[in-house]
């Protein structure tokens, strides 16, 4: 029997749980302990393999100190009809980046740079390296 692909919303919510957990430098084991679950169950939630129920999501939001709505920010639209309107680009790439250890480390370090002009120059440099021009 073929495995069913995770629902895009479940994957998104799970990636937001992972991102916030990593922002707090919390292990899967510590989150699991707080929820009364194994770290493997937390892994399944974070990958979107297992759906997070409403009461469990409320628990997670309290532990991770964010509102429940945080987990749905930037979620993909499930509506197949846009009535001729162009769909906005998904911000999922940002949350995917922040969910990586490199993305989180880079963001934390970047935010510690106090001088706005220097931050702007760093962005310009990275855009030039990446071949992006406005």
Q: What is the pLDDT along the chain (134 residues), one digit of tens a residue?
A: 667 788 889 999 999 999 999 889 999 999 999 999 999 999 999 999 999 999 999 999 999 999 999 999 888 876 555 454 555 555 666 777 777 888 888 888 888 999 989 989 988 898 888 886 55
CA distances from 123 to 36, 98, 109, 116 (A): 42, 16, 13, 11
Tokens 């969910």, residue? 99
CA distances from 119 to 1, 23, 107, 115 (A): 51, 21, 11, 6
- Tokens in use for 1? 């029997």
pLDDT, position 82: 47
pLDDT, position 76: 80
């Amino acid at each position: 029997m073929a495995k069913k692909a995770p629902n895009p919303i479940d994957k998104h919510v799970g990636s937001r749980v992972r991102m916030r957990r990593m922002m707090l430098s919390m292990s899967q084991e510590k989150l699991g302990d707080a929820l009364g679950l194994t770290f493997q169950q937390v892994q399944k939630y974070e990958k979107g393999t297992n759906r997070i129920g409403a009461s469990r999501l409320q628990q997670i939001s309290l532990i991770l100190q964010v509102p429940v709505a945080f987990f749905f920010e930037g979620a993909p639209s499930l509506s197949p009809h846009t009535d001729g309107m162009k769909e906005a680009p998904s911000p999922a790439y940002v949350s995917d980046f922040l969910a990586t250890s490199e993305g989180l480390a880079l963001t934390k370090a970047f935010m510690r740079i106090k001088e706005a002009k220097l931050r702007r120059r760093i962005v310009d440099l990275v855009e030039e390296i990446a071949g992006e021009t406005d």
